[in-house]
A = this chain, B = another copy of it.
Amino acid sequence: MGTTGLSIGQVAERTGLSVHALRFYEREGILANPVRRDSGGRRVYGEDDVEWVTLCVVLRASGMPLPAIRQYTDMVRRGDGNEEERLALLRQHRERVTAQIGQLTRCLDLIGYKVGVYEDILDRGAGGHECVAPPAPENGRPV
């Protein structure tokens, strides 16, 4: 049986979390199953643990708060029979992420516009002809 068995440091390395964060997540009840320990009391992670942590990292990266991840973890831990609940939670999160992307995209438009404005100002300035009344950079009463 080729069960690997990874140390916390190795898991940290491949998930991108710090060892501190991994222990913290465990304390917070965010690991789906209790981490095994070796004879010396050190954590030994399996591939499935790594996969789970990786999922958690993705959920965090997309803005899911730890309490929600814990909820989801609890559902999974409770086992089969609550798939509707899990689905609902995932769908809700998906909508939030979609909304977030939408908002960021709108922000990006404005930022892009601003970038364009400054590019124009600089192009014009570099062109050599004096700009007597520069097109009010930010607002009408700067400084």
Contact = CB atoms under 8 A, between A and B. Distances in A.
A115 B141 contact: no
Copies of this protein chain in the complex: 2
B87 A51 contact: no
Contact of A104 (B79, B80, B101, B125): B101
Contact of A101 (B51, B105, B142): B105
Interface in A92-140: 93-94, 97-98, 100-101, 103-105, 107-108, 110-112, 114-115, 118-119, 121-122, 125, 134, 137-140
Interface residues of A, number: 52
Interface of A: 32-33, 46, 48-49, 51-52, 55, 58-59, 61-62, 76-80, 83-84, 86-87, 90-91, 93-94, 97-98, 100-101, 103-105, 107-108, 110-112, 114-115, 118-119, 121-122, 125, 134, 137-143
